[in-house]
Amino acid sequence: MAEKILLIIHETPDGDTLAAATVLSKVLKKMGKSPAMVCKDLIPKPFLFLPEVSEIHHDLLFGDYDLLAVIDCGDIKRTGFADRLKKFSKTKSKTIINIDHHPKNDLHKIAHLNLVDYEASSTSEIVYELCQKMNADLDKNLATALLTGIYTDTGGFKHSNTSDKTLRIAGELLRSGGKIKTITENISLNKTVPALKLWGLALKRMHRHPKLGIVSSVITREDLTNCGATDDDLAGVVNLINTVPDAKAAILFHETQDKKIRASLRTESDSVDVSRLANIFGGGGHKRAAGFTIDGYLKTTDNVWQIVLN
């Protein structure tokens, strides 16, 4: 088995990619390996309680490793290191493993092994089963971490990707000492005044398209500054917007630090697949949750918001 292992966490990391990677890292260490983790972007504050996150690098040379495990990435672009990954895939005696629950994508073409389950609620659910197969001992911190990945990707067990298997695994993680309270305290029940002001702004600006039935809202960099909020405070806004009962889909557009617009898409409708819309704009995701990023900024005239492409 490979000795030099690199775990790749996707850009704009969420609870699932972070939990799955950090738990794998810890388990591999217990097996005597010395894995490294890399993520292009900074780790959002709510996830800093996860084990090993302080050991995540933001830039690494891939040539130093003989096995890459790509975790929860959906597609090559989302690794944040597309060129390095493609180069690595062409190098002899190097191996790529794709561990994911996203629909089939370009990663399948370069991976030597695809540990992919579209039915899994989260990559953390897949990693749990992998840990079982490897007879890995999950202590209470690792159990809490995997539970975090499952919790965040199921929207706190509210989405339809929550299967009986998901709940059985969640139960087993609780039995291993996993703590729901640690997760809610860090992630869903810790809204600061600036964060709630920002949420208020996003709610006030909600618009429902009369024909398409899509509800949407926008948040600019200026809004973040005015509220004293950070990018992390936006997590969850789109899910709240998505609670409008008969909406076809919900979209939150927000300006990013690197002068782009990030769109987060959600739907509760069985007849809508938001990943198809995200695909058109170079993004992707799942049927009910997807996203994409475009070059541009947000502009308002007479209370009408526009996306201006760069």
Residues forming contacts to ligand 5GP in the complex (CB under 6 A) are: 14, 74-75, 78, 102, 264, 283-286, 289-293
Residues in the chain, how many?
310
15 binds, among Mn ion, ligand 5GP, none (CB under 5 to 8 A by kind): none
Quick one: which H or E segment has residue 189? none
Q: Which 64-93 positions form the footprint of Mn ion (CB under 5 A)?
A: 72
Q: Under rule CB under 5 A, which residues in 5-24 are in contact with Mn ion? A: 16
Comparison of 138 and 278: residue with beta carbon closer to ligand 5GP: 278
Min separation Cβ 121 and Mn ion, Å: 8
Question: Which residue type occupies 66?
Answer: D
Q: How far is the CB of 198 from ligand 5GP (least distance, A)?
A: 16
- As a whole number of angstroms, the distance between CA 20 and CA 40 comes to 16
Maximal C-alpha separation, the chain: 62
Decide whether 10 or 26 has the Cβ nearer to Mn ion.
Answer: 10
Q: How far apart are CA 119 and CA 53, in angstroms?
A: 27
What residue has token string 């709630």?
Answer: 196
C-beta of 72 vs 255, nearer to Mn ion: 72
Tell me the C-alpha to C-alpha distance, in Å, between residue 56 and each of 6, 7, 36, 43, 232: 11, 9, 7, 9, 18
- Least distance between ligand 5GP and beta carbon 71 (Å): 12
219: helix, strand or coil: strand
- Alpha carbons 24 and 27: distance in angstroms, whole number: 5
Distance of closest approach, residue 78 Cβ to ligand 5GP, in angstroms: 5
- Residue 290 interacting entry, from ligand 5GP, Mn ion, none, C-beta within 5 to 8 Å by type: ligand 5GP
Nearer to ligand 5GP by C-beta: 144 or 293? 293
Measured in degrees and rounded to the nearest 5, phi and psi for residue 86 equal: -65, -40
> Out of 52, 75, 153, 223, which residue is the one contacting Mn ion (CB under 5 A)?
153
What secondary structure letter does DSSP report for 120? S
Number of residues counted as binding Mn ion (CB under 5 A): 5
CA distance 278 to 265: 8
Residue 208 tokens, joined? 């429902």
Nearest distance, CB of residue 281 and ligand 5GP, angstroms: 9
Stretch that binds Mn ion, among 116-124, 131-139, 169-177, 295-303 (CB under 5 A): 116-124
Contacts with Mn ion, residue ranges (CB under 5 A): 16, 72, 122-123, 153
